[in-house]
Amino acid sequence: MSEGYPAVGRVLVVIPTYNEVDNVRQITGRVRAAAPDVDILIADDNSPDGTGAVADELAAADKQVHVLHRTDKQGLGAAYIAGFRWAREHDYDAVVEMDADGSHAPEELPKLLAAAADADVVVGSRWVRGGQVVDWPMHRLVLSRGANFYTRMMLGMPLHDATAGYRLYRMAVLDKIDLSAVESQGYCFQVDLSWRAFRAGFRFAEVPIRFVERERGVSKMSSSIIGEAMWKVAVWGTSSRLARLRGDKRR
């Protein structure tokens, strides 16, 4: 169990896995090297490729690595929520979301931790000055930038990368949000949590990161995830505007 960081407290990095046997050992080692005082929770959705067994080996060798075995594949959002609840039960002060595939460089984690001194939610952003995306085809760049512009315009959130999956939440934010009401999956899950935290009045910060496309394994992005995100953002934005017209200060 780590002692934590003075400005943040005890930090848990939640890494969801499903068929990440080629990545889990490497990403865990990089996190431990980059930020020795964080703990790690590998939330495995019963991967058939043996990821869970490798995670158990890592946990047995390092007291700052933990494993949450889930019974089946329920999606990224459900895995993160399970990790958030585990963090609450074990008295952590902040939680970091991080992909297992190396797209989120653990070496940049100290930047998120430093920014948390003055923020409740810290987003590792690809689309602020200094941010970078490596090895994406043009259509994915256009899709991501367009989706984030659309989200910013529809919801009025001052975030350049609302779909980013590399982020830190203080536990006070997750305690305020009704996690049982968060049903979104994939990239919409990130927008959903951002929207709830924004409406609750929490402080946001964005720090630039270098996002690298995964080299091993298969991306979890699908057209259904993108469609869900676009539809829900439209519903949330329209509802917010109607609420303002009615004089509802909660937006």
- For β-strands 94-97 and 39-44, DSSP reports them as unpaired
- Per-residue pLDDT reduced to its tens digit, 11-31: 999 999 999 999 999 999 999
The three-point CA angle 220-226-227 to 5° equals 135
For residue 231, give the amino acid letter: W
| Comparison of pLDDT for 250 and 178, the residue scoring more | 178
Whether 77 and 189 have beta carbons less than 8 Å apart is answered as yes
Query: How many whole angstroms separate alpha carbon 191 and alpha carbon 211?
Result: 18
Tens-place pLDDT, residues 20-70? 999 999 999 999 999 999 999 999 999 999 999 999 999 999 999 999 999
Instruction: Indicate the pLDDT class of residue 225, thresholds 50, 70 and 90.
Output: low
Where in the chain are the domains?
A: 11-245
Architecture of domain 11-245: Alpha-Beta Complex (3.90)
Q: Determine the Cα–Cα distance for residues 97 and 84; give it in Å rounded to an integer.
A: 9
**Bridge pairing between strands 121-125 and 167-170:** antiparallel
